């Protein structure tokens, strides 16, 4: 099966001499469930283990999945949402953080392992809330 997305190199890492901890993704095929077209930029991952190459799962906008977190199934992580630790979004989970809503979740299951966190930083208020 062909890959759904590519992980882009951090072009500023060499220029400024730092080791990147997350990388932007680019869609290699359309994902109509989330309005994604081939070539669209997505959010950020630490490695390929954070976002499934199968199904319609997608990370959009400035959202990120790092550590051992995983976005799979037909899930969508968007806005400025962050998944860390061992957290998982499967099925048709939706996690979105915007300026006007703290967190919007819709799913039958969105299991979080002990010690995992999802946090939202609201740009207009500069506050963080962990769930």
Please check whether residue 101 lies inside any domain of the structure. Answer: yes
pTM given for the model = 0.74
What pLDDT shows up at residue 124? 46
What pLDDT shows up at residue 17? 76
Mean pLDDT of 96-115: 50
Contacts of 10 (CB under 8 A, 6+ apart): 20, 23, 24
Please check whether residue 131 lies inside any domain of the structure. Answer: no
Please check whether residue 7 lies inside any domain of the structure. Answer: no
Return the closest-CA partner of residue 109 out of 130, 96, 91.
91
Query: What are the pLDDT digits (tens) for 58-75?
Result: 999 999 999 999 999 999
Label each residue of 56-74 as H, E or C. Answer: CCEECCCCEECCCCEECCC
Q: How many domains does the chain have?
A: 1
CB 73 within 8 A of CB 51: no
- Highest mean pLDDT of the ranges 6-20, 94-108, 117-131: 6-20
Q: Compute the radius of gyration of the chain from its Cα atoms.
A: 14
pLDDT band for position 98 (cuts 50, 70, 90): confident
Please check whether residue 39 lies inside any domain of the structure. Answer: yes
Structural domain of 116? 20-125
CB 71 within 8 A of CB 83: yes
Lowest model confidence (mean pLDDT) among 46-60, 88-102, 106-120: 106-120
Query: Which run of H or E residues covers position 129?
Result: strand 127-130
Please check whether residue 57 lies inside any domain of the structure. Answer: yes
pLDDT band for position 48 (cuts 50, 70, 90): very high
Asked whether the predicted pLDDT for residue 46 surpasses 80, the reply is yes
pLDDT band for position 13 (cuts 50, 70, 90): confident
Please check whether residue 9 lies inside any domain of the structure. Answer: no
Return the closest-CA partner of residue 92 out of 71, 65, 115, 118.
71
Mean pLDDT of 93-102: 73
What pLDDT shows up at residue 6? 98
Label each residue of 72-122 as H, E or C. Answer: CCCCEEEECCEECCCCEECCCCEEEECCCCCCEECCCCCCCCCCCCEEEEE
Q: How many residues does the chain have?
A: 131
Asked whether the predicted pLDDT for residue 116 surpasses 50, the reply is no
């Amino acid at each position: 099966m062909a890959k759904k997305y590519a992980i882009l190199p951090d072009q500023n890492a060499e220029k400024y001499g730092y080791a990147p901890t997350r990388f932007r993704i680019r869609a290699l095929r359309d994902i109509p469930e989330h309005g994604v077209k081939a070539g669209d930029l997505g959010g950020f991952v630490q490695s390929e283990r954070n976002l499934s190459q199968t199904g319609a799962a997608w990370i959009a906008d400035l959202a990120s999945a790092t550590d051992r977190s995983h976005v799979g199934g037909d899930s969508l992580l968007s806005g400025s949402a962050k998944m860390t630790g061992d957290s998982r979004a499967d099925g048709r989970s939706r996690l979105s953080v915007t300026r006007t809503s703290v967190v919007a979740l819709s799913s039958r299951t969105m299991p979080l392992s002990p010690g995992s966190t999802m946090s939202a930083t609201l740009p207009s208020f500069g506050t963080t809330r962990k769930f």
